[in-house]
Amino acid sequence: MSDRLRPSVRIPAAAAELLREVRRTPPLTQCITNTVVAGFTANVLLATGAAPAMVGIVGESGIFAGIADALLVNLGTPPPEQRAAMSEAVRGANAAGTPWVLDPVAIGALPVRTTLAAELVAQHPTAVRGNASEILALAGTGAGGRGVDAVDAPEAAMEAARTIAARWGSVVAVSGATDLITDGERVIRIANGDPLLTRVTGGGCALGAVMAAFLGAARATGADAMTAVAAATLVYTVAAERAAKVAAGPGSFAVAFIDALAAVETDDLLRDARIEEDAR
Amino acid sequence: MSDRLRPSVRIPAAAAELLREVRRTPPLTQCITNTVVAGFTANVLLATGAAPAMVGIVGESGIFAGIADALLVNLGTPPPEQRAAMSEAVRGANAAGTPWVLDPVAIGALPVRTTLAAELVAQHPTAVRGNASEILALAGTGAGGRGVDAVDAPEAAMEAARTIAARWGSVVAVSGATDLITDGERVIRIANGDPLLTRVTGGGCALGAVMAAFLGAARATGADAMTAVAAATLVYTVAAERAAKVAAGPGSFAVAFIDALAAVETDDLLRDARIEEDAR
Amino acid sequence: MSDRLRPSVRIPAAAAELLREVRRTPPLTQCITNTVVAGFTANVLLATGAAPAMVGIVGESGIFAGIADALLVNLGTPPPEQRAAMSEAVRGANAAGTPWVLDPVAIGALPVRTTLAAELVAQHPTAVRGNASEILALAGTGAGGRGVDAVDAPEAAMEAARTIAARWGSVVAVSGATDLITDGERVIRIANGDPLLTRVTGGGCALGAVMAAFLGAARATGADAMTAVAAATLVYTVAAERAAKVAAGPGSFAVAFIDALAAVETDDLLRDARIEEDAR
């Protein structure tokens, strides 16, 4: 594929427009996520400009998915009550046309979440975000990682990502040193980011929430789902680079990253983007 | 009402005395709160000088509410087990005379927590803290917000706050750019604070915990509940202003805010307070 | 005992070797811990160099305890589902020979966790970490604290620690201004650390996770459990001292502490250690 990819100026421009829309609206972004990263995820959304709403109990999550502008379902540590709330929310989102993101955290070796992820992906998420090991496991072509760390490189999950995208009509994003995004036909590759993102818990999970927020904003700008997912990734990883420049370690990086998400502007996106997409 | 309000020197002095008492004792402050803000809430309490205890399971929460100096019940994301623990804790608090604060997060459109909030407010919380949308919903005179963000200004909830206060004997605090506090007759208005507080998840929720800690300390100083709630708000918002002066964004603000809560002293409160109360 | 203790050069050297091993491997460290400190705990592990995995649901926790290099079981706020997952994980760990750490948070006055702690300690944890009040309660010789703050000094729990260690074959670590570690016969005393650690929520809980990670790494270096527990404590408390030097309060301390854990090196450990062990 890579010989057909060319540097993109379209996506940085779309990212700038979507970021302005996120800050203007802001999109109400429902998150049903794991307790480890819930606070960081909410702060990332707030810094980006979105309005987080961590509504994830049975009897409310489905109603709220109809009110919200977007939904994130993250399988990080799902006890039974939360699993039921996730299914309820997905039904509510699909009924209302609310875009939603599935993050199949640590699936593969762990049976409960692997089964749940298989059920949820069959509900046609607007986007799926995971590391290479998780995407391989979701496609049924890998054994999964040992927890949240990928043991496979993003390129190794390219075919698995295409398979999932084609089967369920989802945009699939594979996170890693280079982020790959596909809708089953087109491919976008983003080389921004910093390794310190992997040293902060929630560094990957919160990206899924930002993707949801950008999908919410895309309903106003008319951007398609693949562009919105790429735009979220670009804003997120450009902010990470900015934060890494002033960080003394993973603690100060996490703080600077939140500041950077609030500060990143159009010029940063246009100047710093290292993004390629299909030439056709 | 506003023409009858005059600048208060009484409350800054009481706040200084209560802050010293919090740091001296410290009040054991039980929090049953949502998982998104639990860590931040505990750190805010520790920085202020209080002793947080996040005890919220069935079979323990009621016992502990009898041991604790104060209790916070925050409806942020309550699964069934936590809802039962909240009811148990409120019974324990009322039986022991432990002051408690109800924070009816995001009630209105969401049925589970709206029903729970109605049950809990009828147990006569010492104080209720919410944004204008939540206070309107709790009084039955508003539709509630879309999540934790108020869509109404504090002044719009003034009559709703009086109604709740008069009906249940609670002090009611309406958070916003200006904080309003009423016991149904008297009114206090506090104009301190900084918009960055709304960019940090838990910025409102943790204030409810500090109110609980100050209510615990008030049992030693003899301050009434309305004074304790106002004192907590003043300490919290003066610290926020101090933090905003050195912050580069919401990430560094959250860190500086914790530092500021630990550093704020009597002189800061007396100098920086922008607080009014009834002239009579 | 104290007259038989002599400054140790053995443990700082072992700590340096284990820290290198943690950063090289890294040990997959399963944590079933309370929601208040889960994010901080994961960030502490990542900064130290370990790979956290917060896997704590029924149907997965036992399987994962067989895959993981080490396990932490922390009783901070355990709802029924998590309690069942803890028991399942402990069975899985013991069946696979995975070392595990029990942190009996706030036991004593609170019946649910006190019963659970008694059941779990009888499953022979590799190590137990608690403050003096918790260790006294676990030995059945104290009433427990009021939440997570110890009301007793570490030395007061020395005999209780020996009793637990001898009865269950566990290394017992009593946290405090001076940390005491015993296997029932030998004693190690570590005087490093800073009071700011007690002003950050999870300051004690995350140490238990680092102990687990070092026990995981010790399987490669051949260090015994007591040395691994002492090494983890030394790395943790030396990093805390380094962070305290640049902190303006508990907020900036928590950030600097994460940075310091990632930066601490052999020279720091050898130079700064204030550690004693039995002369024999």
Is pLDDT at A61 greater than 60 in this prediction? Answer: yes
Contact A105, A34 (CB under 8 A): yes
Is pLDDT at B152 greater than 80 in this prediction? Answer: no
pLDDT in tens, B4-21: 899 999 999 999 999 999
Contact at CB, A39 and B34, closer than 8 angstroms: no
pLDDT in tens, A76-108: 989 999 999 999 999 999 999 999 999 999 999
Is pLDDT at C95 greater than 90 in this prediction? Answer: yes
Contact C174, C132 (CB under 8 A): yes
CA distance B179 to B175: 5
Choice among B84-98, B142-156, C228-242 with the minimum mean pLDDT: B142-156
If phi > 0 it is left, if psi is from -120 to 50 it is alpha, else beta; for residue C222 that is left
pLDDT of residue A279: 74
pLDDT of residue C279: 74
Q: Which residues contact A44 (CB under 8 A, 6 or more apart)?
A: A202, A206, A209, A210, A257, A258, A261
Residues of A in contact with C55 (CB under 8 A): 77, 106, 110, 147
pLDDT of residue C161: 97
CA distance A89 to A65: 6
Taking CA atoms, what residue in C is nearest to B41?
C36
Mean pLDDT across C196-215: 98
If phi > 0 it is left, if psi is from -120 to 50 it is alpha, else beta; for residue B108 that is left
* Whole-structure pTM value: 0.96
Is pLDDT at A141 greater than 80 in this prediction? Answer: no
pLDDT of residue C250: 98
What single letter denotes the amino acid at residue C155?
E
Q: Closest CB to B43: pick one of C111, C113, C201.
A: C201
CA distance B82 to chain C (A): 8
SS3 call for C162: helix
pLDDT in tens, C243-258: 999 999 999 999 999 9
Interface of C with B (CB under 8 A): 34-40, 76-81, 106, 109-113, 146-149, 199-202, 248-252, 254-255
pLDDT of residue B145: 54
Give A62-126 as a 3 state SS string: HHHHHHCCEEEEECCCCCHHHHHHHHHHHHHHHHHCCCEEEECCCECCEHHHHHHHHHHHCCCCC
Is pLDDT at B1 greater than 50 in this prediction? Answer: no
Q: Suggest the residue from C40, C131, C196, C201 to mutate for an interface test with chain B (most B CBs closer than 10 A).
A: C201
The torsion defined by the Cα of C220, C226, C231 and C233, in degrees rounded to 10, comes to 140
pLDDT in tens, A210-235: 999 999 999 999 999 999 999 999 99
Mean pLDDT of chain A: 94
Which of C95, C53, C97, C49 shows the shortest CA–CA distance to C72? C53
The torsion defined by the Cα of C108, C111, C117 and C118, in degrees rounded to 10, comes to 90
The interface pTM score, or ipTM, of the predicted complex is 0.95
Residues forming beta bridges with residue A6, ordered by sequence position: A277
DSSP B102-141: EE-TTBTTBHHHHHHHHHHHTT--SEEEEEHHHHHHHTTS
Residues of C in contact with A39 (CB under 8 A): 39
SS3 call for A145: coil
Contact at CB, B76 and A54, closer than 8 angstroms: yes
For B54, the token pair is: 């996040």
Residues of B in contact with A79 (CB under 8 A): 79
Contact A240, A193 (CB under 8 A): yes
Contact at CB, A38 and B40, closer than 8 angstroms: no
CA distance C28 to chain B (A): 24
CA distance B145 to chain A (A): 11
CA distance B183 to chain A (A): 30
Contact at CB, C42 and A34, closer than 8 angstroms: no
Taking CA atoms, what residue in B is nearest to C37?
B39
What single letter denotes the amino acid at residue A114?
T
Is pLDDT at A144 greater than 60 in this prediction? Answer: no
pLDDT in tens, A6-44: 999 999 999 999 999 999 999 999 999 999 999 999 999
CA distance B123 to A4: 67
Contact at CB, B201 and A82, closer than 8 angstroms: no
CA distance C155 to C144: 15
pLDDT in tens, B168-212: 999 999 999 999 999 999 999 999 999 999 999 999 999 999 999
pLDDT of residue A280: 58
In order of A30, B193, B230, the CA distances from B124 in angstroms are 31, 28, 19
Residues of B in contact with A61 (CB under 8 A): none
pLDDT of residue C141: 77
CA distance C192 to A133: 41
Straight-line distance from the first to the last Cα atom of chain C, in angstroms, rounded to the nearest whole number: 12
Mean pLDDT across B16-29: 98
Straight-line distance from the first to the last Cα atom of chain B, in angstroms, rounded to the nearest whole number: 12
Q: Please tell me the number of Cα atoms within 13 Å of C179 on its side-chain side.
A: 31
Torsion over CA: C75, B42, C212, C233 (sign): negative
Residues of A in contact with B43 (CB under 8 A): none
User: In this structure, what are the phi and psi dihedrals at residue C183, rounded to the nearest 5 degrees?
Assistant: -110, 15
pLDDT band at A119 (very low <50, low <70, confident <90, very high): very high
Residues of A in contact with B106 (CB under 8 A): 53, 55
SS3 call for B60: coil
Share of chain A above pLDDT 90, in %: 91
Q: Closest CB to B112: pick one of A52, A57, A257.
A: A57
Interface of B with C (CB under 8 A): 28, 35, 38-39, 42-43, 46-47, 51-60, 63-64, 67, 79, 81-82, 254-260, 262-263
Q: Please tell me the number of Cα atoms within 13 Å of C34 on its side-chain side.
A: 33
Interface of B with A (CB under 8 A): 34-40, 76-81, 106, 109-113, 146-149, 199-202, 248-252, 254-255
pLDDT in tens, C34-60: 999 999 999 999 999 999 999 999 999
Q: Which residues contact B97 (CB under 8 A, 6 or more apart)?
A: none
Pairing of strands A171-175, A179-182: antiparallel
SS3 call for C58: coil
Mean pLDDT across B30-53: 97
CA distance C173 to C154: 9
pLDDT in tens, B238-248: 999 999 999 99
Q: How many Cβ pairs within 8 Å bridge chains A and B? A: 97
Residues of A in contact with B252 (CB under 8 A): 255-256, 258-259
pLDDT of residue A3: 55
What ranges make up the beta strands (E) of C75-114?
A: 100-103
Question: Which subunits sit against C, judged by 3+ Cβ pairs under 8 A?
Answer: A, B
The separation between CA A76 and the C-alpha centre of its own chain, rounded to angstroms, equals 14
